[in-house]
Structure formats: structure tokens, C-alpha cells
Amino acid sequence: MTGNRNVHSGQIVVAEIVAVALVVAALSRVPLGWLLGVPVAAALAVLAFGRWRRRWVYQWVGIALRYGSRPRAIPPGADLLALVGPGAEASSVELGGRGYGVIADEFGVTAVLEVGDPTGLLSDAPLALPSPVPLLPPTAPDTPGVQLQLLVSGCPARAAGIPGTSYRQLTEGRVAAYQRVLLAVRVLRDDSGWSDDDLHRALASTLRRLRRRLGVPHRPLGYDALLAALAELAHHDPGSPVRESWPGLYAGGLRQASLRVRRFAGLRPELAGQLIPRLLALPATATTVSLAASQAGADLVVRVAAPSATGLGTAVQALRRLVGSAGLEVTRLDGEQLAGLAATLPLGLVGEPAPPGALAQCRTELPGPGVMLGRNRRGVPVTARLIRREPTRVLVVGGVRAAEMLTLRALALGVHVLVQTGRPDAWEPFLRAVSLPSDAIGLVPPGRPLALPAGTPLAPQLVVVDVGPLVGDPPVGEAAWRTTVVLRDDLAAADLDTLARADLVVLQPLRPDEAALAGPTLGLLGEGQEWLTRIRADMIGLVNRRTVRFALLSATPLEQQLIGAPERLAVP
């Protein structure tokens, strides 16, 4: 169903019927012929040729009939896949010697790759994503058709107040708080009578070719990971219902709306590669962008989510302005929001293919998501993925000011922060200056039991433990979407266990004796260990996977005003 003005064969038939009805009415010798023929002809003409909101009236009638006749909600605990893909089933299949989760329905089979390094914590280079259009395999009569879908979902740094203002000064709004990139590969059953084995062989072959051509880190999603990705991207809480309304849908406490972007011919080539990053920066709680392609063309659908109707309206208006400034058109999928949700999940669907224009050869560069810790020597942001499903452990060796700077930047991402400290005098001025609601950041003394709610992608947690040398596990347990930051003013032998178990180590300039302890434990010897003592006072060393990166903290004017100079004070 398209939004263009092309007249279809069915409309021509209706025009002929209207003409016949008018002729019959004109030839009728009784008033009843006029009374019946003219209104019927007028109604048919309006139905076939009337336009409203960029669609033919008969298209709206079809949408309304389908909307009224299908299930539009699932109760808590029900299967999300049954709502967005009736008849679809997920299973685990071995393809090319690797285990994949696949989704099969009457039209095809889909497998999914996660693009990027989901286990890597640090990023100092953008992720370069090719368009799915040139990745499509050539058509052949003896192989099933293939559809590819590049799916990017992200959450911007959305906090207001001082943390948000300071972070925008630092990042210029270009660094996402959280981001996920998936590539869905779908092979079609069509009318050729392909068996499941045929489709699985074709899918395995397509995946092998794609993995050779992608040129970026990636991994297959297994059965459990695929189902988790579906729920996460839909913002679906299994304990809450999902409901579709005419203009949107409600899931996981968020109001969502999907829109289809059209008229790719109007997109200038120099803007094509910037389109997805600009869409991800919309003022929404979360934005999901799907660029799907088949041999028939490309389909671009955007879904925005916000906690309130007002916030959703603001995001939709910003989307319309952005798309319009790029020379494109956008249509809100009123009455088709379930189809919009399905189009923005990794199912490999191509709803309304159109000539891709400049999107065919564009290459999109996405900065690494997470908390921006500083800039490298090339001025590129260095980010840490502190918002992730896996429990994350961070050790900061330096001072309270460095930990406060990390905390302030995390607050800008919408992270809920809890500081457990034995020196409240060092933290309370910072907490008062930040001036955030009490549920955004809290301060508790050592020894108090910490009963925290479960974290989520939209409500992640950061626990700062500033209680002196630790033996064993931190006082707060590990959990999904929770990062635990242990702060140490000085590095001593008692900290080596914490140092070895940390996923990320943040080091301000070390003394030689501290570097001698840290180097062997972190796998840094020789020059790498020496640099830990020689970096500038306003720099940090970041160690992950036995690799060290250095970054300039790049304190913003607001950070300098609230926290002061972040340099470590105790290093001679």
C-alpha cells in the first residue's frame, strides 16, 4: 500500500462503473434513477479518487477494516512474536556450523547477526555500516529470494538539568547513551515450493557471503539472544501488556509511533550517510531505524518512543522536520502501528519497497555509544559502554573528582546512581550542586544493605563504591544493566584482586610503585607500564582486555565549576 498518486487499474475500473452509472441515470425516465445513480456514482468516485493525508480514500478504508478485525493487544506474559508475526515460530538451527536462532513463518526464514563488538567496553573509532542494498546477492532462478534489514536502535543522552547541559557541551549531541545494530537476513519461500532444508541451505550460504563482506565485527544471535533482542527492541516488559491504538502503541511503559520515510530520490548523496545518526539523535527516549532492502527496492521505517503523549508528539514533529529538511517525505502509520512495530524488529521484512536512491551506496558511521570519558590524541571521543545487559565492574584509581566527573556524565545518560561512601563530606557538595530528583542519585553509608530494583535498558544503574580497600565482592550484588564502580585513591597490594576482576580499569597518573603493581596484573609490561606514570595530569589510562588507551578528560566549563580540576592530587 503506497502513498503515491499513481492511478491503479482498479481505480480505472471504478471510473468506468461511475461513468456507466451516470449514463444510466441520465437515460432513466424516472427520478429514482437519478436519486440512486448519482449518489452511488459520487460515493464510488470519492472512494476511488479521494485523497486524505497522502493516501487514497479506498486505502484508508482497507486500513480501517484490517485494524478493526485483528487482535490489537496481548496480555502480560503473552508471546510478543505471536502479535507481530502471527504464525511465526522461533527455533534454534545450525547454519554453516554455527548455532543461530531463526524465525520461520509461511513467507520465509530469518536469522540475525549482531554488528559491532557487543563484549567490547571501549570505543575510540566510529562503526562503519554499509547499506544493505549492495549486500544483496544476485537473483538466480535456482535459489530463493533474499531480503536484508539493517536495524539500528539507540537511546540519546536524555537527562535535563546540569548533567544534560554539561554533556551536550562535551559531545555536541553526537554520542548515544546506548546503541544496538542488527542485520537480519531473510530467505523467501515464494511460489517455488522450497523445503525448509532448501531455505536453511540458502540462508547458510547467504550468511557466509555476508560475513565475508561486512568488514566489521559481528556475531550470530542464538535462540535465547534473538528472543531477548525482540523484547528489548520492542521495549516489551513481559509483565505488562502491549496495546495498539490507531496512532501508536503502548509497550513497556512507553508510547510508541512508527513512521515510513519515502521519496528517496530527493535525498542528496552527501546527506545519505548522515541520515541514520541524525535520526538516532531525535528527542525521544529511544529511536529504532530500519533500512530494509530486496531486489524490488528499499524500505525505511522509524519508530520513536517516549513516556508520555506530549513527549511522543515532540519526537514525531522533530522527525518530520528532520526528514523534510533532507528532501524526504514521511507518513505516520496510523492504523498500521503493529505493522510498524514488526517492520522495526529484526524480522527481515520489506513492507513497501521503493527505488533506494542515494541510500543504495551510502556508508553510515556511528560513534561508539556509552559514557564519553574523554578524547584521544586525534580528538575522537573515547566512550565506555557502561549501559549493557552484562554486569560490569569498573575500578577507578585516582581521586573523588575523577569519580564525580564519571558520575556526572553517567547521569546525563539517564543512569540511576547510588554512591556508597564513608566520606560523605567529599560527595555531598557535588550532589547538592547537581540538583537532580532524589530518585536519580542517592548517597548511603558503608554497611547499609542495598536492595536495588532490577535495571533495564531505559533505567540502567551505576553504583559507586567508595569505602576503602575491598576484599572479595563489592557490597552490592552484580545484575544486568548495572555497573559497579570501585573508587580507590591509591593502588595497593590489597587491591590486586579487584584490579584483576575489573572489566574496565580507569587510571589517573600512577606513582612508579603503583605502576609496578598494575602492569603485571593488567598484562601491561615495558613501555605500556611506563606510560601509566608519564601521562599528563588531566589524562587517564583506560585498560580493557589487556589493552590500554589514553584519553584527555576534556572537562567542560560546567564540570570545572561544579567539581574543579579533575587532576589527581596525591601523585608527587
- Looking at domain 371-562, which of 3.40.630.30, 3.40.30.120, 3.10.180.10, 3.40.50.300 is its CATH number? 3.40.50.300
Q: Is the pLDDT of residue 300 over 80?
A: yes
Mean pLDDT throughout 32-38? 54
Q: Is the pLDDT of residue 19 over 90?
A: no
Q: 182 is written with which cell numbers? A: 542488527
User: What is the SS3 assignment for 228?
Assistant: helix
Note the pLDDT tens digit of each residue in 354-394: 999 999 999 999 999 999 999 999 999 999 999 999 999 99
Residue showing cell 554533556: 167
Q: Is the pLDDT of residue 2 over 50?
A: no
User: What is the SS3 assignment for 260?
Assistant: strand
Strand (E) positions, 362-497? Answer: 363-366, 371-375, 381-384, 392-397, 416-421, 441-444, 461-466, 482-488
Note the pLDDT tens digit of each residue in 496-552: 999 999 999 999 999 999 999 999 999 998 888 899 999 999 999 999 988 899 999
Enumerate the β-bridge partners of residue 224.
none
Percent of the chain with pLDDT over 90: 66
Mean pLDDT throughout 175-187? 96
Residue showing cell 437515460: 27
pLDDT at 527: 83
Q: What is each CA distance from 451 to 157, 463, 519, in whole angstroms?
A: 26, 12, 36
Cα(378)–Cα(516) distance, rounded to whole angstroms? Answer: 29
Indicate left, alpha or beta for 472 from its phi (over 0: left) and psi (-120 to 50: alpha): left
Residue type, 492: A
pLDDT higher at 470 or 564:
564
User: What is the SS3 assignment for 396?
Assistant: strand
Q: Which residues 6+ apart lie within 8 Å of 355 measured at CB?
A: 264, 265, 297, 298
pLDDT at 159: 84
Note the pLDDT tens digit of each residue in 462-493: 999 998 766 556 667 889 999 999 999 999 99
The DSSP annotation for 418-455 comes to EEEES-HHHHHHHHHHH---TTTEEEE-TT----PPPP
Mean pLDDT throughout 180-201? 92
* Phi and psi angles of residue 544, each rounded to the nearest 5 degrees, phi first: -150, 130
pLDDT at 10: 57
- Mean pLDDT, the chain, integer: 87
Mean pLDDT throughout 227-242? 91
Note the pLDDT tens digit of each residue in 396-409: 999 899 999 999 99
Mean pLDDT throughout 319-340? 94
pLDDT higher at 315 or 449:
315
Q: pLDDT-derived band of residue 78, with 50, 70 and 90 as boundaries? A: confident
* Phi and psi angles of residue 563, each rounded to the nearest 5 degrees, phi first: -110, -35
Mean pLDDT throughout 89-110? 94
Note the pLDDT tens digit of each residue in 109-145: 999 999 998 788 999 999 999 999 999 999 888 899 9
Full-model pTM: 0.87
Q: Which residues 6+ apart lie within 8 Å of 198 measured at CB?
A: 144
Hey, how many other C-beta atoms are within 10 angstroms of the C-beta on 63?
18
DSSP 8-state code for residue 262: E
Longest distance between any two alpha carbons in the chain, whole Å: 110
Mean pLDDT throughout 329-347? 95
pLDDT higher at 4 or 219:
219
The DSSP annotation for 277-317 comes to HHHHTSSSSEEEEEEEEETTEEEEEEEEEESSHHHHHHHHH
Q: What is each CA distance from 281 to 70, 122, 285, 379, 403, in whole angstroms?
A: 34, 21, 10, 21, 27
How far, in whole angstroms, is CA 261 from its chain's centroid? 18
* Phi and psi angles of residue 341, each rounded to the nearest 5 degrees, phi first: -65, -45
Q: Is the pLDDT of residue 77 over 50?
A: yes
Residue type, 561: Q
Q: 198 is written with which cell numbers? A: 532448501
Note the pLDDT tens digit of each residue in 161-178: 899 999 999 998 889 999
